[in-house]
Structures are given as C-alpha cells and as structure tokens.
Amino acid sequence: MPAIAVIGAQWGDEGKGRVVDLLAEKAHMVVRFSGGNNAGHTVINQHGEFRLHLVPAGIFRPQATCIIGNGVVIDPAVLFEEIEELQKSGVDTQRLFISDRAHLIMPYHILLDGLEEDSKGSKAIGTTRRGVGPAFVDKIARLGIRTGDLLDKEAFRQRLAFVLERKNAILTKIYGIQPLSLKEIHESYCNYGERMAPYIQQTEFLVREALEVDKLVLLEGAQGSLLDPDFGTYPYVTSSSPLAGGACLGLGITPMQIRHIIGVFKAYTTRVGSGPMPTEMDKETAHVIREKAREYGATTGRPRRCGWFDSTVGRLSVLVNGFTSVALTRMDVLDILPSIKVCTSYRLEGKTLQQPPSNSSTLGKCEPLYEELPGWQSPTGHIRRFRDLPLEARRYVRKIEELLGCQVDLITVGPKRNEMISVRSFL
Ligand code: GDP
Ligand code: IMO
Ligand code: MG
C-alpha cells in the first residue's frame, strides 16, 4: 500500500488530526510535510485529549513511525513541550524522527511575525504569530537554519552570526527595538540541538524504505487548501503548501507514490484570521454553531468565523488536490438546525460563477447562491451506519457529493475515535 494523503480542503481545522488518528490504526508511518506549529490538530482517544502542533497524530498508534519531514518548520520549544506532554500521558515518543533538512523557527521569526502583523493594522493577515511565515521567508531567501545545522556547534555559531546581523538590522532600524543576543540564541539552540539529536535523521530515506516495501504511509496535511499561497485566498494565506502536491516536496517522495488523496471537509465552513469567506453566516447563527461546536482555534484560542458549506471554493480544492475521497466531519454539529444552506455557486456582476475568482477582493464581492435543504433535527452522534442516518442527513451528504463531484467515504459524528461512519473503505 503506497502513500495516502489526508488534506485539509477548506481554511484549516477540518478535523485532519482526528481523521489521521483514526486511519493510523493500519499505518506503518505517519508523516507531517508542511506548516509548523501554526497547526493545531485535536485528537481525543484513550490517552486523553491532545492538541498536536508538530508531532504527527499517528503517535498514539504503537506500530506507527512518526516523521516530521523537511517541509515543516520547527520551533524547538514547542516541540519539546509537546513531546513532554505526550510522555506524561504515557505515549511512547521513541518512534518519532525529524528531518535534518527541516528549518527552525528562531526567536527573531516569532518577533517579526508579531511586528509585521502589528504594522499592517487593518490589513493584517491574522497570522498565528508563531513565526511560521518569517521562517519560510528565510528558507526561500536562503537565510534559514536547519535542524541538522545544530549538530555542528561552531558552524552553527558562524551561520547564526551571519543571519542575526541581518535580522538585528531590521529589528533595530525598521522596528526600533533592541537587537537580539547571538550568545543567548546560540546557547539555547545548541541545547535544543543536543536534545533533538536522537530524533534527527535523513527522513527521506526512511519514507522511501517504507514505500518500497509497500507499507502504508499516511501523509498528514496541515492547514487547508484555501490557505495555499498559490490557490488560496492570497494574500490571506499561510506560507507553505497544504496541498497534496506539497507532500512530495515536503518529504522527498514522488507524485506517483500517492495512491489516495482524502479531502477533509467540515460539514460547514470555518475560518480563523482575515480574508474573504463568502458564505459567512449571520452573527446569531454563527454564535449558535460556535458555541455548540466550540469553534475556537486549537492553536491561538481565537473564535473561528463560521459559514455555510461552500462548494464553489470546495470544487477548486478538489481540482488542485485531485481528491479521490471526501471525509466529511462534524455532521453532528448540524443536528440542531431546522434548515441548512449549501452554496452552489457565486453571483458576480450578473454572472454565475462555478469556480471562485483568484483575487481576494473580487471574491469578497461575490454573492453566494444557496440551495436550502431541510435539517434533520435529531441526534446523529450515536449512528455508525450510513443507512441509519436520518433521510435529510443522507440527502445533505449526497448533495455535497454531487456539488463537489467526489464521493464521501467517511463521515464523523463526534470528536472521539469511534464516532464515525465508514461509508466505503479506502485503505
Ligand atoms: P484540524 O486542525 O484539521 O486537525 O482540526 P482541529 O483539531 O483544529 O479542529 C477540529 C475540531 O473539531 C476539534 O475540536 C475536534 O475535536 C472536533 N471534531 C472533529 N471531528 C468532529 C466531529 O465529527 N464532531 C464534533 N462535534 N467535533 C469534531
Ligand atoms: P490546522 O493544521 C486554521 C491561518 C491563520 C491565518 C493564516 C496565516 O490546525 O488546520 P500563519 O500563522 O500560517 O502565517 O497564518 O493561516 N492558519 C490556520 N487556520 N488552521 C490552521 O492549521 C492554520 N494555520 C494557519 O489563522 O489566517
Ligand atoms: Mg486545527
């Protein structure tokens, strides 16, 4: 069995963590390939409730090797906090490996993320302020520092001195704040390097070995396709590609090695941060959903904006990822609604659009066209077979399949592992 990708299909927080925790039962390897600790993946299982930011959600499955690939940026402080929390809960973390090519989030990245956001005022992106964007900027600007660099302390000191000189110039001359100390950063990151050393590997070879002998490798996406720097709602996007294609670059595998691509869609829509969201609900309905579903960010605690299911942006997500399956999460959240709207297309200047415009300000002007479906108004959390869902709920699922042009193979009806309906097995 080759690689199977689990990809966020909307603006993040679709429930990727819980889907990966579920599918990892049969996985030999679970890998993260993009983003950083801007991600917050909630997993609830017999070990407790976890919000994973860097460690793959396969860590709870004793047979699964977990890998943080080269495409991820790592804040070592967050990584070790997470590892310690897992160990305290009795989870074995010795099966975790980190790519020696993964870039590090440095203290100046976190500072700059906040300073840049503050300086943008009302035009701020609403980033998670974890330094993820500035770390990817440095990767591309060839000013990054990688986990493998920490293993040679003197070479690392020289590299850091070179980079920090440039960062301190920005901090002092543009933002008028104190420069950062080379000695302090060098010391603390050498300490992280010593702790990280047992985890650091050339992970592309580990992944290749697993794929060569046909082991199941789960690719755990982070963020969502509509936050992709190319196909998302630019500039209100993240800074690495959450798309299935991003897994090839973020791990060193080939496109031909990915057999299935599962698009994880929430049964409605949420978004954290700024940027257009055509199907955003009125305040009262959004409030009902947010409080019922506890729609608050797993990383920053910010309230999530809530909206109706949007198949217009959904179809773009299907197109740019090539989903072979849809996993539809949080169906139970809709149990209370008397009727449910689904956006089928947009209207813009008298024209009907089946695909969203690429420009964020134009997207912001699009009027969503809805089809309104009757709600089922009965609990679904206990249901485990598709045919046992209320008729209206089945119709809702069929409508989404029709609008996306992709089959729904998994439905989740609660946050716990077993609270799901397997419509068709794809493993
Ligand atoms: P991720 O970033 O894609 O992994 O998603 P998050 O963990 O940020 O957000 C998903 C939220 O939905 C978490 O609080 C999950 O516990 C919760 N969740 C996942 N699936 C379901 C479901 O089927 N029903 C309900 N009620 N909650 C769910
Ligand atoms: P998971 O993996 C939801 C959003 C931020 C902001 C934009 C840029 O849990 O689905 P960044 O810090 O990446 O520079 O912020 O992207 N964002 C997410 N929203 N879920 C995430 O991850 C996100 N990661 C980043 O809110 O709008
Ligand atoms: Mg999340």
Q: Which residues make up the CATH 3.90.170.10 domain(s) of the chain?
A: 265-422
Measured from the CB, is residue 406 less than 6 Å from ligand 2?
Answer: no
Substitution candidate for ligand 2 out of 38, 55, 130, 264 with most atoms within 8 A of CB: 38
CB 401 within 8 A of CB 326: yes
Measured from the CB, is residue 17 less than 6 Å from ligand 1?
Answer: yes
Centre of ligand 3 to C-alpha 8, Å, is 10
Measured from the CB, is residue 16 less than 6 Å from ligand 1?
Answer: yes
- Residue 259 Rama label (left phi>0; alpha psi -120 to 50; beta): alpha
Distance from C-alpha of 379 to C-alpha of 411, rounded to nearest angstrom: 14
Q: Which helix (H) or strand (E) holds 226?
A: none
Distance from C-alpha of 71 to C-alpha of 249, rounded to nearest angstrom: 7
Burial of 209 (0-12, 13-18, 19+ CB in 10 A): exposed
Measured from the CB, is residue 221 less than 6 Å from ligand 1?
Answer: no
Substitution candidate for ligand 1 out of 7, 13, 128 with most atoms within 8 A of CB: 13
Give the pair of three-digit tokens for residue 355. 């695909």
Whole-number pLDDT of residue 1: 64
Planar angle of CA 132, 136, 139, nearest 5 degrees: 145
Average pLDDT of adjacent 10-residue blocks, the chain of 427 residues: 94 98 97 98 96 98 98 98 97 97 98 98 96 98 98 98 98 98 98 98 98 96 98 98 98 96 98 97 94 90 96 98 98 96 98 97 98 98 98 98 98 97 87
Helix (H, G, I), strand (E, B) or coil at 31: strand
Substitution candidate for ligand 2 out of 73, 116, 223, 266 with most atoms within 8 A of CB: 223
Centre of ligand 3 to C-alpha 40, Å, is 4
Measured from the CB, is residue 271 less than 6 Å from ligand 1?
Answer: no
Question: Considering the entire predicted model, what is its pTM?
Answer: 0.98
Whole-number pLDDT of residue 118: 97
Q: Which amino acid is at 159?
A: R
For the domain 3-102+200-262, what is the CATH code? Answer: 3.40.440.10
Structural domain 265-422, CATH architecture: Alpha-Beta Complex (3.90)
Distance from C-alpha of 389 to C-alpha of 317, rounded to nearest angstrom: 27
Active site residues: 13, 41
Distance from C-alpha of 66 to C-alpha of 206, rounded to nearest angstrom: 10
Residue 178's φ and ψ, nearest 5 degrees, are -65, 145
Centre of ligand 2 to C-alpha 261, Å, is 21
Q: Which atom of ligand 1 is nearest to the CA of 43?
A: 16
Structural domain 103-196, CATH architecture: Orthogonal Bundle (1.10)
Alpha carbons within 13 A on the beta-carbon side of 48: 10
Q: Which atom of ligand 1 is nearest to the CA of 20?
A: 4
Residue 55's φ and ψ, nearest 5 degrees, are -75, 130
Residue 225's CB is within 10 A of a number of other CB atoms, namely 32
Centre of ligand 1 to C-alpha 20, Å, is 12
Q: Which atom of ligand 1 is nearest to the CA of 411?
A: 23
Q: Which atom of ligand 2 is nearest to the CA of 13?
A: 10
Residue 411's CB is within 10 A of a number of other CB atoms, namely 25
Centre of ligand 2 to C-alpha 227, Å, is 7
**How far, in Å, are 156, 193, 196, 219, 335 from residue 201 at the CA level?**
18, 13, 10, 18, 46
Measured from the CB, is residue 413 less than 6 Å from ligand 1?
Answer: yes
Q: Which residues make up the CATH 3.40.440.10 domain(s) of the chain?
A: 3-102+200-262
Substitution candidate for ligand 2 out of 14, 127, 226, 305 with most atoms within 8 A of CB: 127
Q: Which atom of ligand 1 is nearest to the CA of 51?
A: 7
Whole-number pLDDT of residue 367: 98
> Which ligand gives the minimal distance to the CA of 304?
2
Whole-number pLDDT of residue 315: 98
> Which ligand gives the minimal distance to the CA of 414?
1
Whole-number pLDDT of residue 86: 97
Taken as a whole, the chain contains a residue count of 427
Centre of ligand 2 to C-alpha 185, Å, is 26
Angle between helices 311-321 and 391-404 (to 10 degrees): 60
Give the helix ranges, DSSP H, for 294-342.
311-321
CB 33 within 8 A of CB 245: no
Residue 81's CB is within 10 A of a number of other CB atoms, namely 14
Centre of ligand 3 to C-alpha 41, Å, is 5
Distance from C-alpha of 365 to C-alpha of 390, rounded to nearest angstrom: 36
Distance from C-alpha of 9 to C-alpha of 30, rounded to nearest angstrom: 19
Measured from the CB, is residue 414 less than 6 Å from ligand 1?
Answer: yes
Distance from C-alpha of 201 to C-alpha of 393, rounded to nearest angstrom: 47
Centre of ligand 3 to C-alpha 15, Å, is 7
Measured from the CB, is residue 18 less than 6 Å from ligand 1?
Answer: yes
Residue with structure tokens 């609990």? 379
